[in-house]
Amino acid sequence: MVTQGDPAEAFARIQARHARCVWLDGGGARDWSRRRSMIGWLDDDDVSLTYDAARREVTRHAGGRSVVVGDDPFEVLESELAAGDPGDQWFGYFGYASRADLPAVPDPDLPDAVWLRPSHIREYEHTLVREFMHLSGVATPDKRMNPRTSGDSRTPPPPYAAAFATVQEHLHAGNSYEVNLTHRLRVDSPLSPAAAYLRLRALNPAPYAGFLQHDVEGARAWLLSSSPERYALVDEHRVLETKPIKGTTSRGSTPADDERARERLATDPKFRSENLMIVDLLRNDLAMVCEVGSVEVPVLMDVESYASVHQLVSTVRGRLRPDVTTVGALKALFPAGSMTGAPKLRTMEIIEEVEATPRGAYSGAFGWISGDGRADLGVVIRTLTTAGDDYVLGTGGGITVASEVAEEWAETQWKAARLLQAVDP
């Protein structure tokens, strides 16, 4: 049943009263995304799960007790879903290190996965947001100074330049076709997670916006998402859909500049080759779990416009095989190919070699999974996380042999700009 009223007001009350809660925020809805907010909260006896990749431990939290119940968050969540009712809904995230069989550095700050099963859920309807075609003072990268450093955001710092150079060596050696190179930023802020999220959703509305709070001793996590990218949707007909983003430009400072930026994104060979490589990777990923002949690409390289960026988006779709569960499919696709590069395994090995900071929840997946097999999760990008102290965010972009280091560094800066603005005192 849909509740009337402002979900932000309800969120403020619920978040203050309940240590474990979640808001999947439909305020940035597009024609392809949900238009409803879901706010859920847990009673003391309700179940949540957390995963520590360093220890390889999944912990079950309920009734004030925390018990280790397994070593694979996908398998434990699958078991919980199988033991529950078809109407049960779980909300949470899988961080980048959630698959122990793939190379990834555990998160030293937050659990590598958190999943909640609320016994209370409210839903709110939202109006559809067509496109953020208005310009709201978005600075272009050649004019904007990095708000968290004293230098020009066009100048790559030595660690990034060195990582970029090593990536180029691997690309020229044929070890990868594309590498998504990222780094982590830390930000001190006096703002509470709830206050920061309300600012973030106003600054950067997005179809996979949301807030997760798991305020449990030893497993604290807050995740504040404004992600525009679909990781996976599984509908009632067992159709699996992904919408990879690869190719991003900043918005122009005038309508004419903005249209030129949009046109460049749509036609530039570098952006198009980046997107095509990830589409091919995802066609292969979906083919592992979908019926033969069902995998298709109904949309190739469409431009979507958001508050601060234009992005090149494709859609890859297929029907799950009868022997593949929803969680099994989510695991097989994990992590999103747009956040690794191609081929996935070898490229993740390169990422582990060159990135100086762990990714944590960044590059993972955040959303909901239902006991009846439906699911809808976004890729964890444009997202802040905290364990209650400073805020952490990841930013990056796809590197090919045609990439320029200064351009790629600038892209990481304007991707992070709205997140930094949200927690700026």
Q: Taking a C-beta distance cutoff of 8 angstroms, is the pair 20, 213 a contact? A: yes
188: left (phi over 0), alpha (psi -120 to 50) or beta: beta
Q: Which residue has the tokens 């979906």?
A: 286
Q: 328: Cβ–Cβ under 8 A, 6 or more apart, which residues?
A: 74, 78, 289
> How far is Cα 75 from Cα 57, in angstroms, rounded to an integer?
12
Upstream peptide bond of 147 is cis (omega within 30 degrees of 0): no
> How far is Cα 307 from Cα 228, in angstroms, rounded to an integer?
11
Select which of 246, 331, 344, 415 is catalytic.
Answer: 246
Is residue 331 part of the annotated active site? The answer reads: no
Listing DSSP states for 23-67 in one string gives EEEGGG--TTS--EEEEEE--TTS-EEEEETTTTEEEEEETTEEE
Q: 158: Cβ–Cβ under 8 A, 6 or more apart, which residues?
A: none
Other beta carbons within 10 angstroms of residue 19's beta carbon come to: 16
Q: Which residue has the tokens 């179809």?
A: 207
Is residue 270 part of the annotated active site? The answer reads: no
Select which of 78, 80, 178, 229 is catalytic.
Answer: 229
SS (H, E, C) 257-295: HHHHHHHHHHHCHHHHHHHHHHHHHHHHHHHCCECCCCC
Q: 270: Cβ–Cβ under 8 A, 6 or more apart, which residues?
A: 400, 402, 403
> How far is Cα 222 from Cα 214, in angstroms, rounded to an integer?
6
Other beta carbons within 10 angstroms of residue 82's beta carbon come to: 10
Phi and psi dihedrals of 229, rounded to 5? -110, 130
CA distances from 396 to 63, 142, 145, 404 (A): 40, 18, 17, 14
Q: Which residue has the tokens 């939202």?
A: 126
Give the active site residues: 229, 246
